[in-house]
Amino acid sequence: MRQSQLFTKTKKEVPAGEVAKNAQLLIKGGYVFKNMAGAYSFLPLGLKVIGKINKIIREEMDAIGGQEMVMASLQDSSLWEATDRWDDKNVDVWFKSELKAGGVVGLAWTHEEVITDLMRQFISSYKDLPQYPYQIQKKFRNEMRAKSGIMRTREFDMKDLYSFSATEEQHQEFYEKCAAAYMKIFNRLGIGHKTYKTFASGGAFSKFSHEFQTLAEAGEDVVYVNEEKGIALNEEVIDEVDLAEFGVAKDELVKMKSIEVGNIFSLGTKFSEALDLNFTDETGLSKPVIMGSYGIGPARAMGTVVDLLSDDKGIVWPEAIAPFNIHLVLLNSDDAETKDWADGFYTSLQANGIEVLYDDRDARAGEKFADSDLLGLPYRIVASKKTKAEGKFEVVTRATGEVRYLNESEIFADFDSNPET
């Protein structure tokens, strides 16, 4: 894409009160726009990143048997009263609104009740199990305080998968499979090396639930980690557990800040019992379905990547989720021959299926380099009068600062056509 045609621009300023590093960089880069506290718009470059994150999530969910769908946001009270989650006294994040036709509706902040009701249509026998519907869909949460930039907002897309199993064994097998898929996702997103599956408080149906926590200074959470042993526990359980069980002593654990990038829950039969989701087993006995829920927020993952991998010059995108892999930066744009030649190179890159943002704007070199660092595409290739004369391009790797001098054919050999799509 030609940067001169992109409707967004980089900015020097961020709205007053926007203190989170992720939002500051993403707003400056023209990736997101803040509509109000806790509500952001995703601009073309930002939506491309989200699209790539969603694609990775979908691939890993489909690979373990997930079936994508999308559920409604508007909710009447009936299902939620059955599980005691309608009253504002029990759930403090509802957005509720009067319906003109009479009555009150709420905006779904999660979908356990909705999917349980829906699956009653389709589950009656053990032969209908297991099933793994999921969606990437917008949740609304009436947070008292929106914070951490795009990481704790009042509306956000969430990938939520729900598992429906006939037996505890069937449930556990999928639970482990999904935990492994989550680590694959975080590895592909470029934050796997800092992400731990942690032990968190379990609720009523299992000793622990699990969260995926990424170690980061900007985190709202606190975990106790032993990096060598690969063990992490959430702060809320650290004093309640027998650490010997985990083969670790308290003084071997380091207290660190972290971001919750995913969670998985065993729900037991809480929702199926409350909402009558039953099946007939092999012996003809009616039993409630065993459920689990599994969440990842794509925007929170995006914010975590920005917080974790950026430097003082700007964002550093991993190749898998960068909006474009290459930033082709034209200098000496007033020289017609240089511009023609760079235009031709841009066209060749595109023809070779390489994702490229082409900074064809009339602007000073210093401004272009600063913008390029801020935008953070994985590779910068400079096309200039000098480059043209020498027949070699300067190729700079954003993450490491490594500089290479490559000619056209070396560049085509080096860059795969779009590796992730």
Among residues 14, 47, 82, 237, the one that binds a second copy under rule CB under 8 A:
47
Mask for 51-90, x = binds a second copy (CB under 8 A): --------------x-xxxxxxxxxx--------------
Among residues 100, 230, 244, 400, the one that binds a second copy under rule CB under 8 A:
100
Instruction: Find all residues with CB under 8 Å of 56, minimum gap 6, and list them.
Output: 185, 188, 189, 320, 321, 420
- 96 or 193, CB closer to a second copy? 96
d(CA 16, CA 404): 40
d(CA 321, CA 308): 14
Q: Provide, rounded to whole angstroms, the least separation between the CB of residue 123 and a second copy.
A: 8
* Integer CA distances (angstroms), 292 to 71, 83, 142, 163, in order: 17, 16, 24, 5
Query: Is 97 among the residues that bind a second copy (CB under 8 A)?
Result: yes
Window contacting a second copy (CB under 8 A); options: 27-35, 180-188, 302-310, 378-386: 27-35
In this structure, the dihedral spanned by the alpha carbons of residues 168, 266, 300 and 16, taken in order and rounded to 10 degrees, is 170
Query: Is 179 among the residues that bind a second copy (CB under 8 A)?
Result: no
Structure tokens at 169: 């064994």
Among residues 101, 244, 351, 389, the one that binds a second copy under rule CB under 8 A:
101
18 — phi, psi (to 5°)? -85, 95
d(CA 185, CA 262): 10
Window contacting a second copy (CB under 8 A); options: 40-48, 228-236, 288-296, 345-353: 40-48
Query: Is 145 among the residues that bind a second copy (CB under 8 A)?
Result: yes
Query: Is 114 among the residues that bind a second copy (CB under 8 A)?
Result: yes
| Exposure string over 207-233, b if 16+ CB within 10 A, otherwise e | ebbbbbbbbbebbebebbbbeeeebbb
Window contacting a second copy (CB under 8 A); options: 8-16, 18-26, 198-206, 286-294: 8-16
* Integer CA distances (angstroms), 63 to 44, 54, 135, 296, 317, in order: 28, 14, 15, 16, 25
- 125 or 407, CB closer to a second copy? 125
- 50 or 259, CB closer to a second copy? 50
The amino acid at residue 68 is: E
Q: What SS3 state is found at 107?
A: strand
- 43 or 215, CB closer to a second copy? 43
d(CA 144, CA 154): 9
Query: Is 174 among the residues that bind a second copy (CB under 8 A)?
Result: no
Residue among 27, 32, 33 at smallest CA distance from 13: 27
Among residues 24, 83, 110, 131, the one that binds a second copy under rule CB under 8 A:
131
Among residues 142, 167, 187, 269, the one that binds a second copy under rule CB under 8 A:
142
Q: What SS3 state is found at 148?
A: coil
d(CA 279, CA 123): 7
Window contacting a second copy (CB under 8 A); options: 42-50, 243-251, 261-269, 302-310: 42-50
Query: Is 8 among the residues that bind a second copy (CB under 8 A)?
Result: yes
Q: Provide, rounded to whole angstroms, the least separation between the CB of residue 122 and a second copy.
A: 5
Query: Is 255 among the residues that bind a second copy (CB under 8 A)?
Result: no
* Integer CA distances (angstroms), 346 to 298, 379, 394, in order: 31, 14, 15
Q: Provide, rounded to whole angstroms, the least separation between the CB of residue 239 and a second copy.
A: 30
Query: Is 119 among the residues that bind a second copy (CB under 8 A)?
Result: yes
Give the number of residues in contact with a second copy, rule: CB under 8 A.
Answer: 59
Query: Is 144 among the residues that bind a second copy (CB under 8 A)?
Result: yes
d(CA 402, CA 398): 8
Q: Residues in the site for a second copy, rule: CB under 8 A?
A: 5-9, 11, 30, 33, 35-44, 46-47, 65, 67-76, 92-93, 95-101, 105, 107, 114, 118-119, 121-122, 128, 131, 133, 138, 140, 142-146, 154-155
